[in-house]
Amino acid sequence: LDFSRASTATYFDNNGVLQSAAIDEPRFDHDPVTGEPLGVLIEPASVNATVWSEDLSNEYWTKTAVTVTPNAGISPRGDMTADLITSTTTSSAQYVRDGMGVSSNNSRGVVSVFLKSNGVRYVQLNVAPNTNRRVAVFDIIDGVVAKDVTLSTDRGLTKITDVGDGWFLCQFNGTYTSSGVHIVFLDDATGNFDLTTPFASGDGVIGVYAWGAMFTRSSYSPGSYIPTAGAPVTRAADVLTTKSGV
């Protein structure tokens, strides 16, 4: 068998740490929690359109009633690159927002981000205007989807995956608009998961670690994480062939 891939690409090793494979290096993926081998990872080409996937302190990300401390925690890659989003005492919706590379309306794709609680249980990801919104609420302590709502007929993947050390990969898809994607803090007590509900218990201390944001124009799965730092990045397709070329 011959293997090729014209770019680097990521995978989880047997210790549950996200690694980067070199160009033309096959990836032997593992379950990040159990270390169970999952075989050779074969994926089609994909693009992460999020310009700053690991730096939510960058001005590319709009902050509303939150502060972002860069490089404040250990990421799933095992380095000190996770950002801490902290609530404020302001009585308003508290979130960071990113256009996720969506330059026009009706762009379908998958949003994914690694999240870890620093006192916050519920985090909402939402897209599009309030009248036609795709909303998913994730419990990042118990690792479950708390609520999945759409005000349109557009419904698809909503998933949370334990990747170890308190980190969860939160994913969902739909048709997005230029209003971008919001990562919103929610008040545990109210149970009201609307964007306009203030996070009343914000105290300037609790928050969430965030890392590895992605927007990919894929129908169901974003695939493996693609890091970016200032521009969209393409992960090339994995190509596995026999000596006869089949």
Residue 99's pLDDT band, with cuts at 50, 70 and 90, is low
pLDDT confidence of residue 103: 47
Quote the CA–CA distance of 241 and 140 in Å, as a whole number: 40
Give residue-wise pLDDT tens across range 163-186: 999 999 999 886 665 556 667 766
Exposed e or buried b per residue across 101-139, where buried means at least 16 C-beta atoms within 10 angstroms of its C-beta? bbeeeebebbbbbbbbbbebbbbbbbbbeeeebbbbbbb
pLDDT confidence of residue 157: 75
pLDDT confidence of residue 13: 98
